Homo-oligomer: A and B are copies of this chain.
């Protein structure tokens, strides 16, 4: 085995001797989707897309890469995770890091001031992936955004309603949506004595509170970021708070925060948001949480993040880690960064992080031992005897042309048993069997795989009979 390892290493190093050996793998942090995984993925996408459409969203698409400078200065400390393309002459390009910056570029480029759109596509981050927990370097984002100048918190509330509808529809267990506001955070930093220049970097540190303890976060603030111990302690008091309308009222009266204009604005809007969420009937799943920061630079107002409250399969050996499955917020300045005249287009949106949802759904399917079909084939065209390839080709062609989903074995003379076995293996419900006698009689023997029932169907009625017996629910 050691020898094998050495040989592989040698091959990787590209030694000259012998034939070059390929390393058979996908790039670090990426994966293929096999047909079963794709069937689950399609199911998840359908729930998400139908929710976006229910809210009247249009759909757009953008290229997988952007000019490098389009992405520059948008992601703060995360910019180091951007994949660049090699300079092969021409423009300098980078793979998209999210769908939000390309969306803002699209709006500015096309001078669009008003749109509600969704976009589902892969994004790329040179992160250290934890693939077992559904974290990858190439992963899907499903984004819904509302751009335009509107009355406060109405589109914001709709984004949260959408998250609620999607997570309910997916049936992946209980969830909670944490909400905060960048203005409240900035106001809080100000009254705690954080210098203006450190707002963003301290914000990034606060963002780690979902994975790290307050002690660790504090030591990063004081140690790495050079914040005073007193300021950090003051922040510590605030970021432990979470609640609903009551907490908002309390903070509106807070002796320090009530003196800060930004914080007051944020808290006022937060109150309005909770009123709308109550009308939507979803306020019980929303928690105003002062520890929620979100790392990205471009947020300017409300921010939110949805987490699953308990692993679906707590009894299993490798439980799915409970983590963020959706996030987003308001970014009123981003489009203006692309506009030559700095014209702003206020935006608010949400991104569904579906890789974790896939992981959970996959485990759920495996645990239930539910058999997932990966094709939709309605009928297998089979022969009872040899030398009937031509007849099978003629019949299957008729079926295809009538819109029937049909397969046949690619053998000249397959055994009937193998043909029936293929149906069992692939969940094909019907077999259309031709034999010498059937051809003479102008019929086809239609066999129901599950019951082994067989009936003769006149050839001209076959399409109708197959459709009748396999009408999709």
Contact = CB atoms under 8 A, between A and B. Distances in A.
A410 B38 contact: no
Given A86-B86, A138-B64, A24 B375 contact: no
A53 interface: yes
Nearest to A338: B22
A255 interface: no
A155 interface: yes
A366 to B, nearest CB: 18
A150 B42 CA distance: 30
Interface size class of A (residues with CB under 8 A): 35 or more
A412 interface: yes
A281 interface: yes
Contact of A397 (B84, B154, B280, B374): B280
A31 interface: yes
B150 A53 contact: no
B117 A35 contact: yes
Nearest to A38: B59
A340 interface: yes
A420 interface: no
Nearest to A53: B376
A117 B36 CA distance: 12
B24 A109 contact: yes
Given A117-B35, A279-B390, A397-B280, A22 B70 contact: yes
Interface string A371-413: 0001111000000000001100110010011011111001110
A63 interface: yes
A220 interface: no
A69 B22 contact: yes
A378 B376 CA distance: 30
A56 B408 CA distance: 9
Interface string A48-75: 0000011111111111111101100000
A320 to B, nearest CB: 21
A171 B436 CA distance: 38
Given A33-B60, A154-B410, A165-B401, 17 more contacts: A24-B340, A32-B63, A33-B61, A35-B117, A38-B58, A53-B376, A54-B403, A54-B405, A56-B406, A57-B375, A83-B88, A84-B88, A86-B87, A146-B410, A154-B389, A158-B410, A279-B393
- Top 4 A-B pairs, shortest CB-CB distance: A150-B410, A35-B58, A56-B407, A30-B63
18 contacts: A25-B67, A26-B62, A27-B93, A28-B91, A33-B62, A34-B60, A38-B58, A41-B61, A54-B406, A55-B400, A56-B377, A154-B410, A154-B412, A157-B393, A161-B397, A165-B401, A279-B390, A279-B393
